[in-house]
A and B are shown apart, each in its own frame.
Chain A
Amino acid sequence: MNVGAEPGKVTRVVILAVVGLVFALPILAMVEFTFRAGLSGDHTLDHWTGLFTEDAARTYRGLFQAIGNSFVLAAVTVGIVVVILLPTMILVHLQFPRLRRVLEFICIIPITVPAIVLVVGLAPVYAIVVKVLGGATWTLAFAYGITVLPYAYRAIQSNLDAVDLRTLSEAARTLSAGWLRVLWFVLLPNLRRGVLAAAFISVAVVLGEFTIASILNRRNLQTALLQVSQSDPWVATIFALLALLLAFVLLLSIGRLGRDRKNQ
């Protein structure tokens, strides 16, 4: 008997099956629900085909608009991660390693603060944001930039830990590269995997966000789904499924796109 080693094959399969079942059941139930015909128990394709009829675009205009909003939010949030978090982390890693614990602590805070509490704090801030930048939906990305911090930080940090960026950047500098070119030619290519992972996880988080958008009265995918579900639960479920599918695709692409050229 192997003590302390990884579990045996049977144990692994059982664990995977149980966990998989917990995740799969609600999703399968949702799929099944989208084919239900009212309360009679019969099944029908009407709810799916209904989406492709001519007046669907008009009926669900709000929903499509909300999806658009969510994509804009996701893009701006990723922008915040890449433009603010990433350079900060590289700078701390290479120049101020003593600040690493502080930065880590700051980035982990959002996960310990419930969204509802965050919103209470953010509401007065947004009163000012609206005054300065207007009430457009994309401004919500400032809040999302905070909520995705823990995930984005982890993704980038694990990449930073895996590569000896200090030596690589020093080597590049001795080879006549200034800081900008060190960043572009050496650091970013070696942080590709971490940055992509951070970006996709951020997108997944933003597409699933409800609380902040709802309380600050903005329309995004999740608030729109809730609204639609009150009049047409099937369509809401279909869109929820599609959003889930999109998130899956995004997460799977992390592995694909993140693969380095040298490993292909």
Chain B
Amino acid sequence: MTGATVELVGVTKSYGAHQALAGIDLTIAPGEFIALLGPSGCGKTTALRALSGLERIDTGRIVIDGQDVVDVPTNRRDIGMVFQSYSLFPHMTVTENVEFGLRMRRVEKSERRVRALESLEMVGLDKHAERFAHQLSGGQQQRVALARALVTRPRVLLLDEPLSALDAKVRVSLRDQIRRIQTDLGITTLFVTHDQEEALAVADRVAVMREGRIEQIGTPEQLYVTPSTPFVADFVGLSNRLPGELVDGQVSVAGSVLDQLGERIPDGPVTALVRPEDVAFASAGVPATVVASSFLGSLRRTQVRLADGNLLAVQHDVSDRYETGASVFVKLKGSAVSVSPR
């Protein structure tokens, strides 16, 4: 079964004076994997819960496969959801947990069993079928939760920060597993996270949210290379903040003149957001002093202090080493940058 088209049109939601969703417009293609990315309190979880029906919306439309579901209760929306906190039913075995959705849909017992085991096999936990939740690790519990959400083959899969309680290694492997299963099943998926690395790694498109709005939506590459706002540039990936001067779409910063990304803003003093990989060490250029250097496995990031006191992170090959206190020259590579008025 292929996934459904999901549309959120002008969705708003307020809690008292706080506007959690300030008009969200989002269209998800069948089988697409969209990540909602943003800092805590930006409304990403509210958007997901609105889609699930667990949260009522104030205005707007939520359309799944052409059907407006705003007044359809959660249990009739045909969705699957994995929660941030462990949500396995503690009084049921793993199999009973996975069977639950089928049981609620009055699927016959023997068929339930077969389908539950299939679903468990998919997440590699069929050997643990008779255990209880408290006998599983956190990562295993979330995999069971995923199997449980998928066993009914729902039209939409909703993932509410399912990895945030897990440790780094498990997080990466489960993240990849989720993506693989999602691709195999072709299920439309909305994934909420505050971890930009996670969002960039798994999603077809990422929607960056800020204060109840979608700031920018695009492929991970688009967001990273051509952020449309300084907020996106700052939130997605790592950026140096350097003072510059904007004149007619050109930014003078650290001895270079660069193109400006995103919407035009009035000329004047600005803060430019420069990626560490867009800075290089050179034999001549802007003089700087090495402050610290960190080994990041396949690459190295070295922090230098410019003459005006600003700190700048430079990403470079792991074989180049710079001693703390050494005098060096750095040069911007010339990529276009995001700016915000200073």
A binding-site residues for B, Cβ under 8 Å? 163-164, 167-168, 170-178, 181, 185-186, 189-190, 192, 260-262
Contact = CB atoms under 8 A, between A and B. Distances in A.
The 8 A-B residue pairs whose C-beta atoms are closest, nearest first, are: A175-B101, A174-B81, A171-B87, A176-B104, A262-B132, A173-B74, A189-B91, A177-B104
Given A167-B83, A181-B104, A262-B132, A173 B54 contact: yes
Q: What does DSSP make chain B's interface, helix, strand, loop or mixed?
A: mixed
Given A164-B87, A178-B75, 18 more contacts: A164-B86, A168-B87, A168-B89, A170-B87, A171-B83, A172-B100, A173-B73, A173-B74, A173-B75, A174-B52, A175-B75, A175-B100, A176-B101, A176-B152, A178-B73, A192-B91, A262-B91, A262-B134
Nearest to A175: B101
B134 to A, nearest CB: 7
A175 B148 contact: yes
A237 B2 CA distance: 75
Nearest to A176: B104
A186 B85 contact: no
Given A164-B85, A167-B83, A167-B85, A174 B74 contact: yes
A175 B152 contact: yes
Interface of B: 52-54, 73-81, 83, 85-87, 89-91, 100-101, 103-105, 132, 134, 145, 148-149, 152, 158
Nearest to A163: B90
A176 B134 contact: no
Contact of A190 (B53, B87, B90): B90
20 contacts: A164-B87, A170-B83, A171-B81, A172-B89, A172-B104, A173-B53, A173-B54, A173-B73, A174-B54, A174-B74, A175-B80, A175-B100, A175-B152, A176-B101, A176-B105, A185-B103, A189-B89, A190-B90, A192-B91, A262-B90
A262 B79 CA distance: 29
Nearest to B85: A167
A174 B74 CA distance: 6
Contacts of A176: 75-76, 78, 101, 104-105, 152
Contacts of A261: 91
Nearest to B132: A262
A178 B83 CA distance: 19
B91 A174 contact: no
A170 B54 contact: yes
Contacts of B158: 174
Contacts of A168: 87, 89-90
A111 to B, nearest CB: 31
Nearest to A260: B91
